[in-house]
Chains A and B, each alone.
Chain A
Amino acid sequence: MKIGIVTDSTADLPAYLLEEHQIHVVPTILVLEGKEYADGIGITREEFYNRLPSLQTPPTTAAPSIGDFAAPYQTLLSQGCDHVISIHPANQLTTIINITREAAKGFPGKVTCVDSGSLSMGLGFQVLAAAENAEFGLQPVLEAIESTRKRLQVSAALDTMEYLRRSGRVPAAVAALGGLLSIKPMIELRDGEVKAVGAVRTTKQADERILNFALGLGEMERLAILHTNAEPRARKLLDELMSRARKFIPRDILFVNVTAVIGTHLGPNGLGFAAVRKTPS
């Protein structure tokens, strides 16, 4: 049984992995100063984050259309796949999963849509687990996704509360965080919800906190260091992890400058990670 894997660009998977595992990615849409960009095309992530703070009108994002998903489903099924698994970000954060479900209706019994409950590499690792098991059939793929999700930890320190608050995608209690003081929120993505896990006031404190979160995870099967144009900080985090927990981190560690579609809601100079533990917590 051959399983086709579809996701969207918010999974943040690097091109070489997409190619290696034959994962099909549907780009999401970024609207910047009235102009629409397919995610990853026409503007680099560095350029986007550099421009973000000074933009007159905040950028917006849009989900792909039903047709954008129906097309790859059609292609994969006609190229010999017996089934398609389409994995996407949490429905609390975007409407993408609902669009894929609509698209799947055109292929009864042939497409299974999965709400990852996550985002960026938190979604990406579930897609990878699915792809690695694609040759074994539908059930092993679903089990691999479920197993990965249970062991997933996505945490981040944002540089400011501003972008997240503006996004309207966080509970009121999180949006109110900080109040009169300027703060850097620490957040966690769990079952599709953005949860505040405190805040700090300086970059140094943020870096320490993220490092401590990571050190507290124990042995990791997968790890991606995520940032929004904060590569030097991400490198430093990696160095610290290498020197303090070499035994606990996997050999291959991904470095991801998070997609602009997500970054629009986080702002630049954020640092975090997505990790899959060896054993469930």
Chain B
Amino acid sequence: MTVDTARVQKLRTMPIDGQSLKRLIDAGLTWLRTNKETVNALNVFPVPDGDTGTNMVLTLQAAWNEIKDSGARHLGEMAGMVSKGALMGARGNSGVITSQIMRGFSRCVHDKATLDVPTLVKAFGEARDTAYKGVVRPVEGTILTVIKEVAIATESAQGSAKDAVEILEVAVKAADEAVKNTPELLPVLKQAGVVDSGGKGLFFILEGMLRHVYGESLETPTMTVQPISSMQMQDAMEEVEEGQDYEVVVDFVPGGELDLGSFYGRLEGMGTSIQVGEGEGMYRMHIHVPTEKRYEPIDYIMGIGTVTKVAIENLLAQMDDIQKGKQIQCNPVEPGHIAVVVVSPGAGLSRIFASLGVAAIVSGGQSMNPSTQDILNSFENLPTDKVIILPNNKNIILAANQAKEVTVKQVMVVPSRTVPQGLSAMLSLIPDGELDSVAEKMTKALGGVKTGEVTVATRTVEIDGVNVTEGQVIALLDGKLVVSAESVEQGVMDLLEKAGADQHELVSLYYGEGVAHAEANRIADLIVTKYESLEVEVQEGGQPHYQFIISIE
């Protein structure tokens, strides 16, 4: 990679105004998007829901949408728009923290027409402070630590730095080191053999800005090949990029050694969202392409190996289907009563929530975290000022809290981390009760249920003392990996054993998409046979990725 020194010199001397910031944001977003899958793959548990990269891209994309048509030259004005866009578009915990970083930054520069070294250093400091304040219990070894290290490093470089570019260089270096150090601070990362995903995402944003200054390419990813099972073909919440209407997936066996560099190079000429996976000598390529190029990747790959399977899907039609599936009728909320908004990962679960009297449903969950705006939109027009949000996912709680901050309505977030917790809380709803005391009762109800989740491992790892081989069935109990098994059936049975099911009364099986009702019933029968005193209820959940979500109570 060559640095364009003349360009760098020019950029070093140019004042950094609103338009410069706009180009930097664009660069940060582009570079992050290019490396999105790398960030997504940094998942502690070997479960198929790594989505930090996607969340951060969508958060930054919302910021970009806010500024892309703006001709503002004033730095503070532009930063304000970035902050607003990021705030409303924030998805997932890392997305929310990223939006807080933007907010702190923009607050610091709001009255500055251009950026100088002291302001930039101060802005990193404010970004750090705002990010930490946005989290109730800050955890080190995460994106928070990365922005903190950036703030510290840039502050000590302030005296010697000649220009803002030098500060940015220091920031990128500090971010890189901080990311590498995250496993030392957060034991689960070390155990799982990964660095923190949100921190890595922030690093890519900063690095993208610097690459822009250097005149380096922002489109070629740091090349990665991931296990096939961790490739995500269902970015349901992700908007289809304009012009990239088709998704093409090709399975193939290369004729010889696959030269990743040239492979990626050719694919980049055809489309976006490129992913390459490998498993058992076979490769899988995923790409989004415009309509007229939809056969190009297939033709190309046929030239370098043997194609075993091809799938072409019209993404726009897919999005339509997803939208249709979301239409579930909720009960109208009585004016002045408490309205409950839930995040639900599947159509079946949405129907159950609707039957329990929720006022609005936001589709989302694992690997499809809704944004602050999505959550806000769901309740802004309800005829009541009293709202309770059930995020039903640990990665959506922060966005729910952020929605609470930006509305004039009285909102309480009951921090449900799983669907069974959310259902349990719903049963404590008294619609005409006092908001505070109802929220308190619902929060209390969260503890009354154990949650099991059964899915397929996306990589081989040993975590929490459980050995997992990629492709095996695994089960989590209240977010902790407890079981690896050879079949879904065995996974469910072992999970119940670990949960001490014999000490409980009721097991509810919410089966996911791709699991037949008859299969779920068969497993329910096995449970009843083993645990005679246990009641078992089978419901269609319809959630992706997870064969079963199970409540044990």
Can you pick out 24 interface pairs between chain A and chain B where the beta carbons lie within 8 Å of each other? A177-B357, A179-B352, A179-B355, A179-B356, A180-B351, A180-B352, A181-B355, A181-B423, A181-B539, A198-B428, A198-B429, A198-B430, A198-B441, A199-B427, A200-B448, A201-B449, A201-B506, A201-B508, A201-B553, A202-B504, A202-B505, A202-B506, A204-B505, A205-B553
Cα separation A201 to B449 with both chains bound (whole Å): 10
Is the CB of B270 closer than 8 A to any CB of chain A? Answer: no
Contacts of B449 in A (CB 8 A): 201
Q: Mark B439-466, 1 if CB is under 8 A from A, else 0.
A: 0010000001100000000000000000
A176-B355, A198-B427, A200-B427 given; name 20 further pairs at CB < 8 Å.
A173-B431, A177-B356, A177-B357, A178-B355, A179-B352, A179-B354, A179-B355, A179-B357, A180-B351, A180-B355, A180-B539, A181-B356, A183-B427, A196-B430, A198-B428, A198-B441, A199-B428, A201-B508, A201-B553, A202-B553
From the candidates A178, A200, A202, name the one contacting B356 in the complex (CB within 8 A).
A178
Is the CB of B537 closer than 8 A to any CB of chain A? Answer: yes
Interface size of A by Cβ–Cβ distance < 8 Å? 19
From the candidates B351, B357, B537, name the one contacting A182 in the complex (CB within 8 A).
B537
Contacts of A178 in B (CB 8 A): 355-356
Contacts of A173 in B (CB 8 A): 431
Listed residue (B356, B430, B539, B553) with the most chain A CB atoms within 10 angstroms of its CB: B356
Contacts of B508 in A (CB 8 A): 181, 201
Is the CB of A112 closer than 8 A to any CB of chain B? Answer: no
Cα separation A50 to B427 with both chains bound (whole Å): 28
Is the CB of B424 closer than 8 A to any CB of chain A? Answer: yes
Cα separation A205 to B424 with both chains bound (whole Å): 11
Min Cβ gap A262→B in Å is 24
Min Cβ gap A163→B in Å is 18
Min Cβ gap B342→A in Å is 13
Residue of A nearest to B449 (CB): A201
Cα separation A124 to B413 with both chains bound (whole Å): 42
Contacts of B537 in A (CB 8 A): 181-182
Contacts of A183 in B (CB 8 A): 427
From the candidates A176, A177, A181, A205, name the one contacting B448 in the complex (CB within 8 A).
A205
Q: Mark B351-386, 1 if CB is under 8 A from A, else 0.
A: 110111100000000000000000000000000000
Cα separation A182 to B351 with both chains bound (whole Å): 14
Cα separation A182 to B553 with both chains bound (whole Å): 13
Q: Mark A169-212, 1 if CB is under 8 A from B, else 0.
A: 00001001111111100000000000011111111110000000
Contacts of B352 in A (CB 8 A): 179-181
Cα separation A181 to B505 with both chains bound (whole Å): 15
Contacts of A205 in B (CB 8 A): 448, 553
Cα separation A197 to B508 with both chains bound (whole Å): 22
Min Cβ gap A119→B in Å is 21
Min Cβ gap A204→B in Å is 6
Min Cβ gap A185→B in Å is 9
Q: Mark B512-553, 1 if CB is under 8 A from A, else 0.
A: 000000000000000000000000010100000000000001
Min Cβ gap A260→B in Å is 26
Cα separation A166 to B506 with both chains bound (whole Å): 24
Residue of A nearest to B438 (CB): A198
Cα separation A204 to B355 with both chains bound (whole Å): 24
Contacts of A176 in B (CB 8 A): 355, 357
Residue of A nearest to B433 (CB): A197
From the candidates A179, A198, A199, A203, name the one contacting B505 in the complex (CB within 8 A).
A203
Residue of B nearest to A181 (CB): B352
Contacts of A204 in B (CB 8 A): 505
B88-124 contacts to A, CB under 8 A, are none
Min Cβ gap B335→A in Å is 15
Contacts of A197 in B (CB 8 A): 430
Q: Mark A69-109, 1 if CB is under 8 A from B, else 0.
A: 00000000000000000000000000000000000000000
